[in-house]
Amino acid sequence: MNASQVSGIGMTSQRTRSRLVQWLMDEGVQNQNVLKIMEETPRHLFIDEGLSHRAYENTALPIGDGQTISQPYTVARMTEILLETGSCDKVLEIGTGCGYQTAVLAKTCKTVFSVERIRNLHIKARKTLANLNLHNIQLLFADGFNGWQQNAPFDAIIVTAAPAQIPEKLLLQMADGGRMIIPVGTQEAEQELYLVERQGDKFRKTFVEKVKFVPLVGGVAR
Ligand code: SAH
């Protein structure tokens, strides 16, 4: 990777990225820190070169193994909600995928832990994130239904694939005052994005908006 690829010259130009940020603002994303990070993060480096001309469109795109890179709007919105509801020093992400959401979080959180169940994607994400010189990230190849107990509790948990119900183990790995943002629902139906806030032993669940994610699948795929 050379300097012009990282800075994003050409079809992934500054103008194209600014357009994306304008669109995010039109859709209601307001957090200036998040908008700046979305503008700076080279989304084209997280997808196959053949698709890089579409990197700054607000769409999910295939990343191999039947998975997708999340829509920029969804990434921005989930990040904004976590940042605006409390501390984000220690964050757990379930579903690394290509690592795009991981990179966005790493630019504003102290440490990001991210778990992926498909080995291939886990390895590819590690390379991409290392190339971007992001060093406050720890990646794990495992079933995210189990969270990452050794590093719990987490100030914030972000789940980027949808389970049918909120996994109990993830609730238990939230810090007191911690938040979790998670899509819930089956693949066929429309899913609902929830913010869960923990106060002691109480968990308050707030509906955010309708969303569409790939399913959270149990077990690992080598
Ligand atoms: N965060 C990614 C989204 C990737 S799509 C982004 O920024 O674009 C969701 C990812 O969740 C897929 O890579 C999928 O393999 C992964 N996933 C699904 N079930 C999982 C599980 N139980 N544990 C860990 N990862 C899981």
Q: Which domains does the chain have, with CATH numbers?
A: 3-211 (3.40.50.150)
Pick the catalytic residue: 4, 13, 52, 70? 70
* Cβ-Cβ contacts under 8 Å for 29 (sequence gap 6 or more): 35, 38, 73, 76, 77, 80
Give the CA angle between residues 154, 159, 12 to the nearest 5°: 110
Residue nearest to atom 10 of ligand 1 (CA): 95
Burial of 125 (0-12, 13-18, 19+ CB in 10 A): buried
The predicted structure's pLDDT at residue 13: 76
What CA–CA distances, in Å, run from 150 to 29, 115, 120, 125, 146? 34, 13, 23, 22, 11
Q: Is 4 a catalytic residue?
A: no
The predicted structure's pLDDT at residue 174: 98
For tokens 């890179």, the residue is: 69
The predicted structure's pLDDT at residue 189: 75
The predicted structure's pLDDT at residue 11: 54
**Per-block mean pLDDT, blocks of 10 residues, the chain (222 long):** 49 81 97 97 93 91 94 97 98 98 98 98 97 95 98 98 97 98 88 98 97 95 92
Residue 170 CB less than 6 A away from ligand 1: no
The predicted structure's pLDDT at residue 8: 45
- Which of 47, 101, 116 has most ligand 1 atoms within 8 Å of CB, for mutation? 116
The predicted structure's pLDDT at residue 4: 46
Residue 121 CB less than 6 A away from ligand 1: yes
The one-letter amino acid at 211: V
**pTM of the entire predicted model:** 0.95
Residue nearest to atom 12 of ligand 1 (CA): 97
Give the CA angle between residues 94, 178, 135 to the nearest 5°: 50
